[in-house]
Structure 1
Amino acid sequence: MANTVHIRRVAVLGAGVMGAQIAAHLVNAGVETLLFDLAAKEGPANGIVLKALDNLKKLKPAPLMSAGRADLIEPANYDSDLEQLRTCDLVIEAIAERLDWKLALYHQIAPHLAGHAVLATNTSGLSIQALADGVPDALRTRFCGIHFFNPPRYMYLVELIALAKTDPTLLDNLETFLVTRLGKGVVRAKDTPNFIANRIGVFSMLATIHHAQRLGLRFDVVDDLTGPRLGRPKSATFRTADVVGLDIFAHVVKTMTDHLQDDPWARYYAIPDWLGKLIAQGALGQKTKAGIYKKEGKDLFVLDPQSGQYVPAGQKASDEVKAILKLDDPAAKVKALRESDHPEAQFLWACLRDVWHYVATLLPTIADSARDIDFAIRWGFGWKQGPFELWQAAGWKVVADAIRQEIAAGQAMSDAPLPAWVSRRDGVHEAAGSYSAARDTLVARSPLPVYRRQLYPPQLVGEAAPDYGETVFENDSVRMWLPPARTGGSDVPVLTFTTKAHAVGPNVLAGIQEAIRIAEARFPGLVLWHPEAPFSVGADLTSMGPAFMTGDFGAIENMVAEFQNTSMAIKYAKVPVVGAAQGYAFGGGCEFLMHCARVVAAVETYIGLVEVGVGLLPAGGGCKEFALRAAREAKGGDILAALKDYYMAMATAKVATSAEEGQEIGYLKHADIVLFNPNELLYVAQAQVRALAAAGYRPPVKPRAFPVAGRTGAATIKAQLLNMLEGGFISKYDFHIGVQIAEVVTGGDVEPGTLVDEAWILKLERERFMGLLKRGKTQERIMYMLENNKPLRN
């Protein structure tokens, strides 16, 4: 079998937490999806699935891009609906981790599968070969492991596990589907217990627990050390265990206990007594509101394993060790940790040492290359750098020598010798590829065509630096450039903001306008794209600081006018300006996207007009765009009815929690494109420029006049605001800002139906923006945001 299988319809077997969320992500991606479970003993036959679908709408973080997508999942049961499997191209089994249950289910469904269908198990630790041995012979070439990480919508990693008999073309098709349709980072793992990410990630947690207890460190201090300070998620170690669920963590550890008895680290594959007691008490972590941490009211407590009691949490790492962790040079940082006598420094060095020892020993047996291990840990456990990258950055040979010495001295967790290949190398990642210990050679990246869509794929330490091409124009805040010819994108220029968080100040505005002029003269269009999220956090409030402090409001008004001019330049450019967005697109960043000819947005784009949070209103054309759209969408001339949802989005600073919700709110247009893999943004955005240009792109015709809701519409909105104020839902100052927004989007003090142009609304935006800026409460909100990075409700 070597035929191409197009995956259009998928069945998920098992409506538990994982199965239901896999189904949710499939329908997020527009894939027809059936969700199977046992027939209910009472009530509707599909009652178990229906309950799971209802639960999907309540889960946080939301597994669905919009609650309505739950209705697109087709419920089914094993008693009456197995014939529907014949219509499915992929069947994902996600039932409980019991070998006998899984094998029984495979035999039950086998007669009903289409001859081309792929059968994949979502097991997190069972042997794929043991499962395959129990699969009917006709299915073995179409059987593999497909391990999603929880929650499937947000976790980038999927591990694919093939066997000798798995058809390679089938696996390539499946990887392509996962990468571009579901937006995943795929790592091909070998069939070993817990595969790659959980094997190493859980060992790292066990090593952390071991060294914390050995050195007598509090758990909250350990979490302070092993979170962002070490380049890892905020949940660090013990909070991560609570979030995952202590019972789930213990189950993954037990897989290692049961199947890795001859492993050099086998004696550490066990949960400590205090953790076993918590599980026995039903304190399973976040889902039971108590685990290693426990919250009572606003007070947070952490377990003291010695006493078994909870103590007030919040202790931090020592200043001495925090200073070491702030060092920019990885080699200097690791050397300082190793040489320090401070218990916290010794703890961190020991954790790093033992993980490096572990991954070096396991490399030939669990993964094809060091690249797979580093990406699995980055994508599955949220580390900024994988373990091999960290080692290479810290000085490969120096670290290797130190590890050898401490193994010999009996200080490491295992006395297994460091593998011989470590001495032969200066690192594992090079421009030519990443090291494979099993093959003793460098392995290049996957040649699958789907990866050609990733012009700038995720990079590893030691690989060739990304080539961001030829500079066309730049100032101190933007760079306009052409990707190199090898990417196939050298015909369409890219404009990248170089400011922190891609905030918009005067030089960004000037840079966008100049880039558009150059694009109009020389190129088919322009893409606004940044290699890293966010798209933009909006206006750079600090750039207003000098004028703000000296009371030079005229200078600020000029900047607001330039903001509007820039948005209009984007909208009415003679060539298409396409925005490519991921992460936050707030305030002015959102307004730029609203004015683009087309937007290509990663599904995890969080977009909104959030100016109310700093006591202001959208003044980069956001109010104007919504007023114009309402006029065009008004049915029977009822402009206010078309406007009310747009107004509420601005007045409540509503942020879309996905690009799809951004389309529903109106920040993005329905013609805009939502992508599931953010690494494909630039490829698709450039393709959109070419397509628009090839179709004879013409900018929108400037409306000479459009009707507004007028003072009557504003009065109606004010009445609703008054109800919200009296109900305690908004503050007096929120009410005041809401009134200003209402008067702008309804056209000011004019009769309903009065015809205005864009310049009229833009003028109102500027005037009301400046009026708010001069008020003390707005100034308080701005200062609070700058100092605390969160809004003040005053």
Structure 2
Amino acid sequence: MNRNIKKVAVLGSGVMGSRIACHFANIGVEVLLLDIVPRELLPAEEAKGLTLQSGVVRNRIVNSSLETALKSNPSPIFSKSYVSRIKTGNFEDNMKDIGACDWIIEVVVERLDIKKAVFDQVEEHRKPGSLITSNTSGIPIHLMAAGRTDDFKAHFCGTHFFNPPRYLELLEIIPTADTRTDVVDFLTYFGDKMLGKTVVLCKDTPAFIGNRIGVYSMLAITHLVEGMELSIEEVDKYTGPAMGHPKSATFRTADVVGLDTLVNVANGLMQNAPDDEAKDVFQLPAYITKMAENKWLGEKTKQGFYKKDKDDKGNTVILSLDLKTLTYREQSKVKSSTLEVTKQEEDIRKRMKAYEQGTDKAAALFRAMHYPLFEYVSRRVPEITDDFYRIDDAMRAGFGWELGPFEVWDALGVRATLKKIKAEEKRLPGQTGEVASWVHDMLDAGCESFYHIIEGVKHYYDLATKSYKPLPGASDLIVLDHIRDTKTIWKNSGVTILDLGDGIINCEFHTKMNTIGGDVIQGINKAIDLAEKDFRGLVITNDGKNFSAGANIGMIFMMAVEQDFDELNMAVRMFQNTAMRIRYSAIPVVVAPFQLTLGGGCEFAMHADFVQLHAETYMGLVEFGVGVIPGGGGSKEFALRASDEYRPDQIVQNTLRERFLTIGQAKVSTSAVEAAELGYLQKGKYAITMNRKRLLADAKAKAVELADAGYIQPAPRNDIKVLGNQGLGIVYVGASSMRAGNYISDHDKKISEKLGWVMCGGNLSAPTEVSEQYLLDLERKAFLELCSERKTLERIQHMLTKGKPLRN
């Protein structure tokens, strides 16, 4: 059947429920968010003469929960305007309204009796054929379905979102024996395409997949730490980004999630997985039990494995817990020869190999935690999943690992690692040194790795056929890492150009933080040359963690310090010319940004024919932070866009002011939607991709569409209205009043005046129409003048050494 999700009911407005409601609002769905009715009045409500029958009181819990969610940082919602898509109510007055909903998501407290009571009401009011799912991390799904009607059971399953649901990609789907196949297929499709999730199909086993493996891995480390005499800060240093895990690593993650949550999941696994050979790993170490008794639960109680305190000078310091004495102390510096080696290796797979081969405590922990993990995950197939790749998907999407356990095993060599697993002396409870027999069967079948890339498509070892099969949906994706060896047509130190097929090529940056220097500028121009000569279109994107952190300010700093302004002028001109080539080439150029898209990266996107961006794109012109104005066409472009927005019935200075403040306040969007609201994107010239993995394929499809439509090279603009002195007066008065109020420094005032001078077209006696090149010349002149200022050099140097802006 064709199924559309127009309206969703979320039952339960706690931490998860309110944030799930926000994420559905993010994708344009109308949401009904319900919770219980309060049983007592608050003193403030009594003082106002309200009663328990007052509407504001009856919806107090749900409204308060939603308000708390909306105030949280990072925000669960793409734009404040999207809050209007969420209607709140309560179970007593509004449960009847779920009859208009296409999907009902239960997110109440983790108690089976309460969930069943809620489902009694759902059965009474839902329309036949509507989806019903439970967001639970521990209660068996089949127990919730017991006793329900056939139609309920056919449309019911578990959907386990990870918190926070906007940002964590994992969505586990747990069907029962009665769930219809088309329901599972639809939820898989909707979760992937619409919600932007990595959807993992799970069996109805304790903690499903993500928490089963993730909590095992975390608790394994908590057991190892004592015997290996490791400190908390050592473990977090060793198990963080160097290992391909998030910065919060192990103990910091426990503090963020809450130690009580970890304890509850561990205890649940001890009780509900009696046949797990490694179940004793879920037995909590004594120090965690004591911390739980002391209510040292992490951030929610202001202390856990870490604690914020004040030193003698009143400065905030972060102390760490000594696991032997259970007292807090100053953190010690962590050094490791192995980490020094891994720092030099960008390729995560090669880094894993270097990590394993180290000789210090960091490498010893790597081996002691990974060898039993490999054994453990091999034995969970087919218990928790028939397909091992789902375990990797869950750990990447739910726990932020760059590689899942089977991918790490591949990086180390499957066959070579078997002997090391058997020889490892630091055994965890239940570890035998023997992996599941299917791994040996795989090797005996001549398959030396769990994954294999065939013609650019990722394949996995299928246990049933003892051969490689394409990962489901892999043929719909384009992964640069999978085609780089065979599809590269040109490269230099910072850029690789690849043939994507269908006449489209891709220009990929791979510098540190994907900053833009001479090699990237050369690469983009080469890509446009190649596309204009032999292809139909160009996509600019990459597989990095961020699209681009902007221009290489280290290069700018060196030229400015050496007073080599001719060279700097040439570099800035090349940057501007490259942005203009992106806009005025003979072929369509699609830029596909994601995550950090700052400075020059933002300017390139602003000049594209089309921007296909990921929902989580944090875009902005942030040059004020290093003492300059946007010099790669960004200042010019905002003047142009302001000109296009001027209307005869408007006060045009107000339009200019909004554009000016976006740059002057270095505003960075918190989502792709906000990037449009801030003016970085133009109506009709952008589209949002929810799932990061689909971004490149979507961008390529857009480039093909533009080429097929008969792309015509546009002509440079010479009709840009600038306000001259009429606008400059407002800019200068505003900057002076801000300085007088001590809101900005003298140097901030100077930068503001330079930006205003560019955006107003310089010293013109009356509003005038000018060309893009005219504005680019002004922009470049102002940029170079600011680079000659000592305070600008101080700001750039501070950013390079400290990684944050300097106010001087």
TM-score, normalisation: structure 2: 0.90
Aligned to 1:674: 688
Amino acid at match of 1:116: G
CA distance 1:791–1:714, shift in 2 (3 Å): same
| Matches of 1:702 and 1:756, distance apart in 2 | 11
Tell me if structure 2 keeps the 8 A contact 1:469–1:482. Answer: no
Amino acid at match of 1:419: A
Moved more, 419-428 or 246-255: 419-428
| Matches of 1:454 and 1:332, distance apart in 2 | 28
1:517 is displaced (CA, Å) by: 4.2
| Matches of 2:476 and 2:763, distance apart in 1 | 51
1:194-593 aligned within 5 A: 194-297=207-310, 298-313=316-331, 315-323=332-340, 329=350, 333=354, 336-337=357-358, 340=359, 345-406=363-424, 411-416=427-432, 417-424=434-441, 425=443, 426-431=448-453, 433-435=459-461, 439=464, 441-442=466-467, 444-445=469-470, 447=472, 453-456=476-479, 465-466=482-483, 470-471=487-488, 473-484=490-501, 490-544=502-556, 547-593=559-605
| Matches of 1:175 and 1:446, distance apart in 2 | 14
Moved more, 286-295 or 763-772: 286-295
Q: CA RMSD, aligned part only?
A: 2.5
| Matches of 2:761 and 2:61, distance apart in 1 | 53
CA distance 1:473–1:760, shift in 2 (3 Å): same
Aligned to 2:13: 15
1:243 is displaced (CA, Å) by: 0.4
Tell me if structure 1 keeps the 8 A contact 2:353–2:411. Answer: no
Tell me if structure 2 keeps the 8 A contact 1:29–1:182. Answer: yes
CA distance 1:562–1:411, shift in 2 (3 Å): closer
Aligned to 1:768: 782
1:162 is displaced (CA, Å) by: 1.6
| Matches of 1:446 and 1:239, distance apart in 2 | 34
Tell me if structure 1 keeps the 8 A contact 2:621–2:630. Answer: yes
Aligned to 1:84: 97
Aligned to 1:487: none
CA distance 1:637–1:749, shift in 2 (3 Å): farther
Amino acid at match of 1:534: N
1:719 is displaced (CA, Å) by: 2.6
Identity of aligned residues (%): 37
Amino acid at match of 1:54: E
> How many residues are treated as equivalent by the alignment?
772
| Matches of 1:644 and 1:162, distance apart in 2 | 54
1:477 is displaced (CA, Å) by: 4.0
Amino acid at match of 1:621: G
1:368 is displaced (CA, Å) by: 1.9
TM-score, normalisation: structure 1: 0.92
1:323 is displaced (CA, Å) by: 4.5
Moved more, 411-420 or 145-154: 411-420
Aligned to 2:43: none
1:199 is displaced (CA, Å) by: 0.6
CA distance 1:265–1:122, shift in 2 (3 Å): same
Tell me if structure 1 keeps the 8 A contact 2:597–2:619. Answer: yes
Aligned to 1:792: 806
CA distance 1:574–1:215, shift in 2 (3 Å): closer
Tell me if structure 2 keeps the 8 A contact 1:713–1:752. Answer: no
Task: Identify the match of residue 152 of structure 1 among 142, 165, 168.
Answer: 165
| Matches of 1:516 and 1:399, distance apart in 2 | 46
| Matches of 2:426 and 2:352, distance apart in 1 | 24
| Matches of 2:283 and 2:151, distance apart in 1 | 39
1:707 is displaced (CA, Å) by: 2.5
SS in 2 for 1:300: strand
CA distance 1:466–1:701, shift in 2 (3 Å): closer
Moved more, 760-769 or 283-292: 283-292
Q: Answer yes or no: is 1:165 the counterpart of 2:183.
A: no
1:135 is displaced (CA, Å) by: 3.0
| Matches of 2:76 and 2:782, distance apart in 1 | 39
| Matches of 1:227 and 1:405, distance apart in 2 | 26
Tell me if structure 2 keeps the 8 A contact 1:56–1:70. Answer: no
SS in 1 for 2:199: strand
SS in 2 for 1:81: helix
1:335 is displaced (CA, Å) by: 5.4
| Matches of 2:89 and 2:476, distance apart in 1 | 36
CA distance 1:781–1:452, shift in 2 (3 Å): same
| Matches of 2:288 and 2:510, distance apart in 1 | 47
Tell me if structure 1 keeps the 8 A contact 2:375–2:431. Answer: no
Aligned to 1:55: 68
1:22 is displaced (CA, Å) by: 0.7
SS in 1 for 2:615: strand
Amino acid at match of 1:428: F
1:75 is displaced (CA, Å) by: 1.2
CA distance 1:563–1:320, shift in 2 (3 Å): closer
SS in 2 for 1:310: strand
Unaligned ranges ≥5, structure 2: 40-51, 311-315
| Matches of 2:414 and 2:157, distance apart in 1 | 36
- Alpha-carbon deviations, 1:729-788, whole Å to 9, x = none? 322212221111111112211234233222222111011101011111112222232333
1:381 is displaced (CA, Å) by: 1.0
1:234 is displaced (CA, Å) by: 0.8
- Alpha-carbon deviations, 1:438-461, whole Å to 9, x = none? x4735634545xx6542229x7xx
Task: Identify the match of residue 71 of structure 1 among 76, 84, 87.
Answer: 84
SS in 2 for 1:380: helix
SS in 2 for 1:92: strand
- Alpha-carbon deviations, 1:164-218, whole Å to 9, x = none? 2211121111111111111111111111111111111111111111111223322
1:707-726 aligned within 5 A: 707-726=721-740
| Matches of 2:467 and 2:430, distance apart in 1 | 28
SS in 2 for 1:294: strand
CA distance 1:323–1:703, shift in 2 (3 Å): closer
Q: Answer yes or no: is 1:105 the counterpart of 2:131.
A: no
| Matches of 1:752 and 1:541, distance apart in 2 | 36
Amino acid at match of 2:320: V
CA distance 1:643–1:285, shift in 2 (3 Å): same
Amino acid at match of 2:89: A
1:694 is displaced (CA, Å) by: 3.9
Q: Answer yes or no: is 1:38 the counterpart of 2:36.
A: yes
| Matches of 2:341 and 2:576, distance apart in 1 | 46
1:149 is displaced (CA, Å) by: 0.7
| Matches of 1:394 and 1:524, distance apart in 2 | 41
Tell me if structure 2 keeps the 8 A contact 1:609–1:654. Answer: yes
Query: Post-superposition, which runs of at least 4 consecutive aligned residues in structure 1 deviate over 6 A?
Result: none
| Matches of 1:775 and 1:32, distance apart in 2 | 53
- Alpha-carbon deviations, 1:708-745, whole Å to 9, x = none? 23223223223322333333332221222111111111
SS in 1 for 2:201: strand
Moved more, 727-736 or 675-684: 727-736
CA distance 1:322–1:591, shift in 2 (3 Å): closer
